[in-house]
Amino acid sequence: MSASIRSPLLALALLLLTSVATLAQARDYYPSGDGFSWTYSSGETQVMSGPRDFGGTTVMVLTHYLNGLPVSEDYLVYDADGVRTLGTASGGQLVRFDPPLIVYAAEALAVGDSWQSTTQLGDISITLAAEVLGLRGVQTPAGRFNALQIRQRTLTSSGAATTIDIFFVPGVGIVRFVTQDGTIIELIELSL
């Protein structure tokens, strides 16, 4: 192959690699970009903003809106260890998690992966435990996805327990929730 042909091919190859790298950066495994939003069939919209300082730590803020009104905020750290929540605010009350709770383990998740973390709130401990159960095809109003089904359990030292199945798509986020009573909440719109 002549040098006059190799040079344009090399330039094209570099352009394609740059485009793929840019796409990979835009579509992080755990989406966390400022302005990203997810709207669900329950009437809830979640909007990511930040970064913001939270007691000396840089966090992204996930604000939960119900029928257009803000109801709570989660303060999240995205790093090589996965996704951790440092706290939440609702009704004007801020709750800090020390140590933070692990929402998602380090990427990339695989069937059989599990993680657990515990934090203390006064006299009560809260444990968040999760396990990746499988890969499922999920049809929602926002589209069809191959999602990781994650069973998440929240337990407190006072005996309270809840279980929810989360259907998570890398680069997209949560596309479906199935609550303990069987209620299905689906993604209807997203903006990444």
Q: Where are the domains of the chain?
A: 31-191
Task: Out of 2.40.360, 3.30.40, 2.40.30, 2.60.40, select the CATH number for domain 31-191.
Answer: 2.40.360
pTM reported for the whole predicted model: 0.84
Average confidence score pLDDT of the chain: 88
The answer to whether the CB of 119 falls within 8 A of the CB of 126 is yes
CA distances from 180 to 36, 87, 152, 162, 169 (A): 27, 23, 10, 7, 21
Residues 114-150: tens digit of each pLDDT: 999 999 998 999 999 999 999 999 999 999 999 999 9
Omega of the bond leading into 108 within 30 degrees of 0 (cis): yes
Pairwise pLDDT comparison (4 vs 48), residue with the higher score: 48
- Asked if residue 65 has pLDDT above 90, the reply is yes
164-190 mean pLDDT = 98
- Range of weakest confidence among 32-36, 62-66, 105-109: 105-109
